[in-house]
């Protein structure tokens, strides 16, 4: 299935996911080193070679394009310096015409590769092929504005700039590293707090494939993983790697990450691989990503400061001509605690369309297909029933990659261990639904459970785009919140808040049996039995600060934030 890709100016997904494809300046010494870049992916409609294949690497000097116009370095017209360009790497600046057009002009002048320099500050971006990209058969990359300016300055100073573009296997003698499509990631990345009440409910495997990209064998390498929250280390494990010959790979696994309780907020997992001595390419030796425990949503991508899922890239399939649907799969042993209210999502379009006035459909389905995992020959999404639907219509301009919310017509109380898919549908063939820059390929391999199904004209594909993470967020709330918050006979009050010495828990019935106080690291600092309709608990012994009060009963669960001031 062919994937069409459209990325934004912060298209970190492409940079991270293809970490072994590098842009390395070999001379002059003042510029030597490794630089951040994105590259034209043939899966996105370009005719360029696959840079993951080392045979397609290019090592050559740079020549700046000249198309004979006042804006000569934009390369939007046939180049007039073809004699100088022949057999070299063309450098051209972004602006005025499509990436594919610039690249084709350079190719026609004899260039063996193209470097496009961004025209705005920040990281390089993903590149859509436009009308001419399919005709480009040489490698095309983009670098940042500042890196391009430094290269231009060196060339203007009569220095020869020699670079390497391609898969870095064998480029260096001593080089261990990761690729981010082969990482074990938090699953899901943003878990709802009601589904993460203990380590038995939310934990994940920790590990990554380690590669010896270098020419020499390595002995004594190590892999380390840490998890931190608000500056406090919760997990720190490492292991020694075996002897790794050149080209060797190994899946290095560390102990599971688990916590007795999870305080809502941001966590960070960091992987590091080291070798004995100096790693000559250390840009892929460390990988770090945030994950979250949220009181509002469940998602497979990180969330922003407002708690909303972040989209960095837009996808659709090339064969989705009438509609395209992106989904996330959900199944949880404690799903009865939550109800689904709607979906958060984002989208973008290409130059032939606009989001203004477009309607997107959000749908929750119950999946009734009976299969164990993706290795089961019966694994498919063919038997399903719609539980609820809703829509969102864009009524403003400039909403590309802005997260919006589609409300379901009715809330859905979920069932334990039942498979569900939550989906967003567009009916515009030029519209791309947001994805989030994380690659769950190794998670998909190791857990063998559906993650990001898609639906096109031909029906559901249970694998979707593989590990590419759909940036859909499911808004979840307590399945018991209606009775607690809206029914006067079961009104819950926790007061005073802030408290000094005592906190009172008042409920007009006896649905709660225990109360637990958690600190900001999720540690249980106090447990009480709730007796009657009004229970007083002594908090005078606790340090001042913010805490979480967890109230539990057979069929009830409520979480309250409390503050203690002495």
Q: What is the CATH number of the domain that holds 526?
A: 2.60.40.1930
Structural domain boundaries, residue 58 = 21-167
| d(C-alpha 309, C-alpha 294), whole Å | 11
Task: Report the candidate in 359, 438, 456 with the shortest Cα–Cα distance to residue 186.
Answer: 438
Tokens of 144: 């940042």
Could you say which of 235, 269, 294 is where a domain stops?
294
| d(C-alpha 123, C-alpha 129), whole Å | 19
SS (H, E, C) 385-421: EEEEEEEEECCCCCCCCCCEEEEEEEEEECCCCCEEE
Task: Looking at the structure, tell me whether residues 326 and 468 fall in a common domain.
Answer: yes
Phi, psi of 101 (to 5 degrees): -65, -45
Query: Considering the domain boundaries, does residue 9 fall inside one?
Result: no
| d(C-alpha 434, C-alpha 129), whole Å | 19
Task: Looking at the structure, tell me whether residues 246 and 180 fall in a common domain.
Answer: yes
Please count the other Cβ atoms lying within 10 Å of the Cβ belonging to residue 372: 10
Residue 274 is part of a domain; what is its CATH number?
A: 2.70.50.30
First to last CA, the chain: 62
State how far Cα 546 lies from the chain centre: 30
Query: Considering the domain boundaries, does residue 132 fall inside one?
Result: yes
Measure Cα distances from 410 to 362, 407, 416 in Å.
12, 8, 19
Query: Considering the domain boundaries, does residue 63 fall inside one?
Result: yes
Task: Looking at the structure, tell me whether residues 283 and 308 fall in a common domain.
Answer: no
Tokens of 460: 């559901």
318: left (phi over 0), alpha (psi -120 to 50) or beta: alpha
Task: Looking at the structure, tell me whether residues 134 and 212 fall in a common domain.
Answer: no
Task: Looking at the structure, tell me whether residues 505 and 399 fall in a common domain.
Answer: no
| d(C-alpha 427, C-alpha 112), whole Å | 40
- Location of structure tokens 């749908």: 363
Query: Considering the domain boundaries, does residue 80 fall inside one?
Result: yes
Please count the other Cβ atoms lying within 10 Å of the Cβ belonging to residue 281: 20
Q: Is the CB of residue 198 less than 8 Å from the CB of residue 261?
A: yes
Could you say which of 461, 478, 495 is where a domain stops?
478
Residues in CB range of 564: below 8 A, 6 or more apart: 498, 499, 500, 539, 542, 543, 544, 545, 547
Structure letter (DSSP) for residue 17: H
Query: Considering the domain boundaries, does residue 266 fall inside one?
Result: yes
- Location of structure tokens 């840009």: 283
Measure Cα distances from 445 to 182, 374, 425, 463 in Å.
9, 9, 27, 11
| d(C-alpha 170, C-alpha 163), whole Å | 15
Could you say which of 436, 454, 478 is where a domain stops?
478
3-state secondary structure of 29: coil
Query: Considering the domain boundaries, does residue 13 fall inside one?
Result: no
Residue 70 is part of a domain; what is its CATH number?
A: 3.50.30.30
Structure letter (DSSP) for residue 218: B
| d(C-alpha 71, C-alpha 91), whole Å | 14
Q: Using alpha carbons only, what angle is made at residue 432 by residues 428 and 435, rounded to the nearest 5 degrees?
A: 150
Judged on CB neighbours under 10 Å (0-12, 13-18, 19+), 68 is exposed
Please count the other Cβ atoms lying within 10 Å of the Cβ belonging to residue 322: 9
Query: Considering the domain boundaries, does residue 1 fall inside one?
Result: no
Residue 469 is part of a domain; what is its CATH number?
A: 2.60.120
Q: Is the CB of residue 25 less than 8 Å from the CB of residue 339?
A: no
Task: Looking at the structure, tell me whether residues 328 and 251 fall in a common domain.
Answer: no
Domain count for the chain:
4
- Residue 207 pairs in a beta bridge with 253
Task: Looking at the structure, tell me whether residues 250 and 312 fall in a common domain.
Answer: no
Task: Looking at the structure, tell me whether residues 330 and 451 fall in a common domain.
Answer: yes
Task: Looking at the structure, tell me whether residues 316 and 422 fall in a common domain.
Answer: yes
Task: Looking at the structure, tell me whether residues 355 and 465 fall in a common domain.
Answer: yes
- Residue 24 pairs in a beta bridge with 34, 164
Task: Looking at the structure, tell me whether residues 282 and 365 fall in a common domain.
Answer: no
Task: Report the candidate in 31, 102, 101, 39 with the shortest Cα–Cα distance to residue 73.
Answer: 102
Task: Looking at the structure, tell me whether residues 212 and 281 fall in a common domain.
Answer: yes
Structure letter (DSSP) for residue 243: P
Tokens of 417: 């261990």
b/e map 246-274, b = 16+ CB within 10 Å:
eebebebbbeebbbebbbbebbebebbbb
From first to last of its 566 residues, the chain has per-residue pLDDT tens of 334 444 332 222 222 233 378 898 989 988 988 888 899 988 888 999 999 888 899 999 999 999 998 878 899 999 999 999 999 999 999 988 999 999 999 999 999 999 999 988 877 888 889 889 999 999 999 999 999 999 999 999 999 999 999 988 888 899 999 887 889 999 999 999 999 988 889 999 999 999 999 999 999 999 999 999 989 999 999 999 999 999 899 999 999 999 988 999 999 999 999 999 999 888 789 999 999 999 999 999 999 999 999 998 788 887 777 789 999 999 999 999 999 999 999 998 876 678 989 999 999 999 999 999 999 999 999 999 999 999 999 988 778 889 999 999 999 999 999 999 999 999 988 888 999 878 899 999 999 999 999 998 778 999 998 998 999 999 999 987 533 333 333 467 888 888 888 888 887 666 788 888 887 666 788 898 887 778 888 888 888 888 888 888 876 777 788 888 87
Query: Considering the domain boundaries, does residue 6 fall inside one?
Result: no
Is the pTM higher than 0.85?
A: no
């Amino acid at each position: 299935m062919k994937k069409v890709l459209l990325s934004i100016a912060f298209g970190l997904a492409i940079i991270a996911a293809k970490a072994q494809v590098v842009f390395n300046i070999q001379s002059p010494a003042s510029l030597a080193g490794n630089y951040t870049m994105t590259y034209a992916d043939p899966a996105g409609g370009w005719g360029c070679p696959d840079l993951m294949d080392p045979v397609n690497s290019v090592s050559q000097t740079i020549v700046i394009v000249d198309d004979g116009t006042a804006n000569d370095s934009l390369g939007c017209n046939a180049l007039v310096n073809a004699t100088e360009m022949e057999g070299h790497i063309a450098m051209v600046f972004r602006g005025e015409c499509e990436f594919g057009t610039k690249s084709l002009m350079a190719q026609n002048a004899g260039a063996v590769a193209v470097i496009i320099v961004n025209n705005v500050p920040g990281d390089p971006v993903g590149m859509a092929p436009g009308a001419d990209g399919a005709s480009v058969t040489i490698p095309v990359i983009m670098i940042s504005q500042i890196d391009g300016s430094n290269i231009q300055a060196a060339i203007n100073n009569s220095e020869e700039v020699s670079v390497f573009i391609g898969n870095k296997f064998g480029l260096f003698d001593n080089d261990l590293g990761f690729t981010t499509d082969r990482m074990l990631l938090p699953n899901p990345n943003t878990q709802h707090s009601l589904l993460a009440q203990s380590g038995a409910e939310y934990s994940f495997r920790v590990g990554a494939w380690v590669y010896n990209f270098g020419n020499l064998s390595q002995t004594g390498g190590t892999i380390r993983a840490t998890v931190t929250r608000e500056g406090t280390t919760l997990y720190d494990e490492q292991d020694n790697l075996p002897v790794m010959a050149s080209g060797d790979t190994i899946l290095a696994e560390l102990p599971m990450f688990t916590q007795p309780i999870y305080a809502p907020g941001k966590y960070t997992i960091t992987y590091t691989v080291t070798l004995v001595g100096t790693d000559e390419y250390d840009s892929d030796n460390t990988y770090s990503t945030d994950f979250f425990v949220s009181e509002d949503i469940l998602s497979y991508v990180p969330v922003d400061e407002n708690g909303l899922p972040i989209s960095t890239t837009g996808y659709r399939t090339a064969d989705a001509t009438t509609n395209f649907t992106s989904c996330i799969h959900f199944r949880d042993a404690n799903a009865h605690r939550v109800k689904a209210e709607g979906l958060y999502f984002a989208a973008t379009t290409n130059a032939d369309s606009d989001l203004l006035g477009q309607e997107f459909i959000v749908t929750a389905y119950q999946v009734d297909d009976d299969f164990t995992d993706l290795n089961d020959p019966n694994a498919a999404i063919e038997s399903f029933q719609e539980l609820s639907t809703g829509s969102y219509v864009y009524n403003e301009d400039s909403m590309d990659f802005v997260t919006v919310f589609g409300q379901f017509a009715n809330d859905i109380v979920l069932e334990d261990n039942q498979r569900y898919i939550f989906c967003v549908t567009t009916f515009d063939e030029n519209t791309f639904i947001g994805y989030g820059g994380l690659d769950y390929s190794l998670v998909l391999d190791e857990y063998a459970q559906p993650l990001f199904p898609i639906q096109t004209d031909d029906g559901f594909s249970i694998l979707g785009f593989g590990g590419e993470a759909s940036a859909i967020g499911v808004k979840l709330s307590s399945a018991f919140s209606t009775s607690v918050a809206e029914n006067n006979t079961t009104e819950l009050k926790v007061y005073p808040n802030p408290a000094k010495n005592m906190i009172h828990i008042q409920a007009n019935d006896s649905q709660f049996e225990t109360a637990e106080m958690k600190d900001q690291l999720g540690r249980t600092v106090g447990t009480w039995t709730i007796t009657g309709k009004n229970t007083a608990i002594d908090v005078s012994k606790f340090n001042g600060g913010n805490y979480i009060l967890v109230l539990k009963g057979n069929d009830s669960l409520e979480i309250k934030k409390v503050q203690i001031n002495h």
